[in-house]
């Protein structure tokens, strides 16, 4: 008989390393490469810098419930909550979906895996999902209802609903081309 874990079980186990809980199963993740880390750091820096002026909360690779019974806990590369949606200092996995989840695509990620995560986030109540593609230097913006906008490196990103006043070139997320 297969054992299904809950998010609470996983927190009690105190697992080390990178993992996600997917429909009750603990899945070990491969550490991302340098390019992934640099893009995630750039995105975090830009969003955090803006959120400090607007009062939002930003975390990196922190567990968020996307499904219950069986539990799924994902760790978006970056999660952002507007200040009124997340109060206090949660110690464990967060059950309130972020307003924005950001994923950086690594070379070993499949399109099916990315699509699955995007759909999970949206079903869980995430308002916007940004998927950054370092190889093509593009940003895909997903919203509930199936809407997707693809922005090129030379285009401006604005999100007045979630990040009023935030604006940057998509290129700012990526390292300078060689």
Task: Check which CATH number belongs to the domain holding 120 and give it.
Answer: 3.90.1570.10
- 146 in a structural domain: yes
- 7 in a structural domain: no
Which two structure tokens, joined as six digits, stand for 88? 């206090």
pLDDT of residue 3: 83
CA 2 – CA 10 distance, rounded (Å): 16
What predicted TM-score, i.e. pTM, was given to this entire model? 0.93
Least confident of 1-5, 20-24, 26-30, 143-147: 1-5
- 24 in a structural domain: no
- 21 in a structural domain: no
Mean pLDDT of the chain: 92
Taking only the tens place, the pLDDT of each residue in 30-67 is 889 999 999 999 999 999 988 777 678 999 999 999 99
Residue-range definition of the domain harbouring residue 118? 33-173
Domain count, the chain: 1
3-state per-residue secondary structure call for 118-138:
HHHHHHHCCCEEEEEECCCCE
What φ, ψ does residue 124 adopt, rounded to 5°? Answer: -75, -15
- 157 in a structural domain: yes
Taking only the tens place, the pLDDT of each residue in 115-130 is 999 999 999 999 999 9
Q: Which residue has the higher pLDDT, 49 or 173?
A: 173
pLDDT of residue 26: 92
Q: State how beta strands 138-142 and 148-152 pair.
A: antiparallel
- 133 in a structural domain: yes
Beta-ladder partners of 130: 102, 141
What does DSSP assign to residue 44?
H
pLDDT range class, residue 88, cuts 50, 70, 90:
confident
- 152 in a structural domain: yes
CA 155 – CA 170 distance, rounded (Å): 6
- 12 in a structural domain: no
């Amino acid at each position: 008989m297969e054992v299904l874990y809950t998010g609470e079980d996983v927190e009690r186990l105190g697992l080390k390393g990178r993992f996600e809980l997917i429909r009750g199963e603990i899945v070990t993740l491969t550490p991302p490469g340098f390019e992934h880390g640099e893009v995630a750091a750039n995105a975090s820096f830009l969003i955090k810098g803006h959120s400090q002026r607007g009062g939002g909360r930003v975390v990196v690779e922190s567990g968020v419930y996307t499904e219950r019974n069986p539990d799924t806990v994902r760790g978006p590369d970056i999660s952002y909550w507007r200040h009124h949606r997340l109060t206090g200092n949660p110690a464990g996995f967060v059950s309130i979906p972020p307003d924005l989840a950001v994923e950086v695509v690594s070379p070993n990620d499949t399109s099916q895996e990315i699509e699955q995560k995007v759909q999970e986030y949206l079903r869980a109540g995430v308002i916007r999902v940004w998927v950054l593609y370092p190889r093509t230097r593009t940003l895909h913006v997903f919203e509930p209802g199936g809407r997707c906008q693809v922005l090129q490196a030379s285009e401006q990103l604005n999100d007045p609903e979630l990040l009023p006043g935030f604006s940057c070139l998509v290129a700012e997320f990526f390292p300078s081309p060689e």
